[in-house]
């Protein structure tokens, strides 16, 4: 609705013109053929502008529907990827281990050392505590608390959050944290120096928790050094997500998480 108001404000001159033209039409209605011809010309010009404005309104609502459709389609594709199922199995949803709940961010912060995100989905939508949250570009955070219609997400940009991650090439596992300094840079620890690393190597989720499936993108290696005291790497990771610019995210429901917790 705000965009419609913005369009009207942007075209305020056209609105005034329409009013004046209607007034002049009545005034000159019974005047000369010359005036009638001029009015017809104005009417033609006006009709073009009105139809153009109308097309903008229709395009806005059409794009909104298309965007919602794309989000839902992306959700289905995410489910297929997370479950490594074929397109032929799309209708057998009960076989999926992971389900996706799409959500919109209504509050986000990256300026603190302990950041949280608020989403517009809650218990009524199937959201539960300890569900992982991702975007199209990688990890976002973990559900920290939920109300009936909203959920609070502990962001990857939170010093208290630790995520199981791995070096994709070597499959070496480590612990991913944020030092609270740069929002585009995370730190990875506990990978032994016997593993060969290179700048630009991909870091993904390790799959050793119920939060995230394996191989969800985290980022790439920006820098690394060996800690002499213990022989492990300290690795700087360029985060694949721009957390501060996110709008739509996907909440991951691991339908087997309760069963896994029972036997842990």
Is 225 exposed, middle or buried (CB count within 10 Å of its CB: 0-12, 13-18, 19+)?
Answer: exposed
| pTM, 2 dp | 0.68
Each residue of 200-217: pLDDT tens digit?
A: 999 999 988 888 988 999
**Which CATH code, of 3.40.50.970, 3.40.1350.10, 2.40.10.340, 3.40.50.2300, is assigned to 97-264?**
2.40.10.340
Asked which of 59-68, 200-209, 221-230 is least confident by mean pLDDT, the reply is 59-68
Each residue of 3-29: pLDDT tens digit?
A: 555 555 565 565 556 555 565 555 555
Alpha-carbon distance values, 154 to 70, 113, 119, 131, 257 (Å): 26, 11, 11, 11, 19
161-183 b/e with 16+ CB inside 10 Å = b?
Answer: bebbbbbeeeebbbebbbeeeeb
Given the structure tokens 């011809």, which residue do they identify?
A: 37
What integer is the mean pLDDT of 188-194? 95
32-42 b/e with 16+ CB inside 10 Å = b?
Answer: eeeeeeebeee
Alpha-carbon distance values, 56 to 16, 48, 63, 224 (Å): 19, 12, 10, 51
Q: Is the pLDDT of residue 196 over 50?
A: yes
Each residue of 37-51: pLDDT tens digit?
A: 555 555 545 544 555
pLDDT score for 58: 63
pLDDT score for 97: 80
In DSSP notation, the chain reads -HHHHHHHHHTHHHHHHHHHHHHHHHHHTTS-HHHHHHHHHHHHHHHHHHHHHHHHHHHHHHHHHHHHHHHHHHHHHHHHHHHT--GGGTT-GGG-SEEEEEEEEEEE--SSSEEEEEES--GGGT--TT-EEEETTEEEEEEEEE-SS-EEEEEEEETT--EEEEETTT--EEEEE--SS-TTEEEEE--BTTS---TT-EEEE---SSSS-TT-EEEEEEEEEEETTTTEEEEEEEESS-GGG--EEEEEEETTHHHHHHH-
What integer is the mean pLDDT of 162-183? 96
Six token digits for residue 152? 């609070």
What integer is the mean pLDDT of 214-243? 94
Provide the residue ranges of all domains of the chain, joining segments of one domain with +: 2-83, 97-264
What integer is the mean pLDDT of 31-38? 52
Given the structure tokens 């609705």, which residue do they identify?
A: 1
Kindly report the average pLDDT of the chain as a whole number.
79
Q: How far out from the chain centre does Cα 205 lie?
A: 18
């Amino acid at each position: 609705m705000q965009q419609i108001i913005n369009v009207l404000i942007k075209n305020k001159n056209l609105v005034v013109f329409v009013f004046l033209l209607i007034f002049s039409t009545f005034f000159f209605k019974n005047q000369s053929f010359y005036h009638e011809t001029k009015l017809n010309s104005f009417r033609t010009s006006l009709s073009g502008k009105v139809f153009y404005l109308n097309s903008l309104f229709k395009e806005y609502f059409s794009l909104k529907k298309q965007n919602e459709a794309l989000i839902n389609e992306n959700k289905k594709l995410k489910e297929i990827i997370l479950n490594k199922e074929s397109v032929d199995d799309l209708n057998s949803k009960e076989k999926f281990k992971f389900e996706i709940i799409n959500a919109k961010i209504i509050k986000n912060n990256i300026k603190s050392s302990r950041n949280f995100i608020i989403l517009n989905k809650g218990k009524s939508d199937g959201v539960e505590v300890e569900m992982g949250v991702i975007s199209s570009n990688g990890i976002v955070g973990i559900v920290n608390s939920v109300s009936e219609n909203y959920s609070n997400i502990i962001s990857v940009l939170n010093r208290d959050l630790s995520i199981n991650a791995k070096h994709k090439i070597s499959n070496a596992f480590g612990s991913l944290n944020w030092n609270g300094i740069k929002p585009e840079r995370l730190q990875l620890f506990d990978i032994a120096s016997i593993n060969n690393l290179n700048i630009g190597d991909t870091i993904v989720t390790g799959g050793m928790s119920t939060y995230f499936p394996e191989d969800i993108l985290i980022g790439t290696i920006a820098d690394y050094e060996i800690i002499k005291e213990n022989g492990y790497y300290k690795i700087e990771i360029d985060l694949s997500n721009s957390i501060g610019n996110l709008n739509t995210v996907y909440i991951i429901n691991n339908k087997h998480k309760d069963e896994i917790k029972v036997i842990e």
